[in-house]
């Protein structure tokens, strides 16, 4: 019984590899590219020429952290959105 559970675990891990392997590869590539100027995750420090080449490659890539303004669908002014100037209805009964 124990042997069958171990086989099932390993089959599930390897069967799910198409899901988790691309994710781990993307993380590895991202960390390596981020730390490329220092030599990557496990590499040696690059020479001056290699560092210049890396900086030129990074300058060609678009910036991934871009701030874009939000737009509203409503055409009302902020005062109208808050509700200033509206007449309040008196409620009858207990308060």
Find the domain containing 18 and state its range: 2-82
Say if 94 falls within a structural domain: no
Sign of CA dihedral 12, 18, 19, 21: positive
Q: Which tokens go with 7?
A: 């086989």
* Closest C-alpha among 28, 30, 43, 36 to residue 57: 36
Say if 91 falls within a structural domain: no
pLDDT in single tens digits along all 95 residues of the chain: 677 889 999 999 999 999 999 999 999 999 998 888 888 888 889 999 999 999 999 999 888 788 878 776 656 565 555 555 555 666 666 66
The total number of structural domains that make up the chain: 1
Say if 65 falls within a structural domain: yes
Can you give the pTM of this predicted structure? Answer: 0.53
What pLDDT is recorded for position 43?
A: 85
């Amino acid at each position: 019984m124990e042997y069958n559970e171990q086989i099932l675990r390993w089959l599930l891990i390897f069967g799910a590899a198409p899901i988790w392997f691309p994710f781990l590869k993307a993380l590895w590539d991202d960390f390596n590219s981020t730390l490329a100027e220092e030599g990557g995750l496990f590499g040696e420090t690059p020479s001056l020429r290699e560092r210049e080449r890396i900086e030129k490659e990074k300058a060609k890539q678009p910036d991934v952290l871009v701030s874009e303004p939000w737009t509203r669908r409503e055409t009302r002014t902020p005062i109208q959105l808050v509700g200033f100037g509206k007449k309040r209805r008196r409620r009858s009964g207990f308060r």
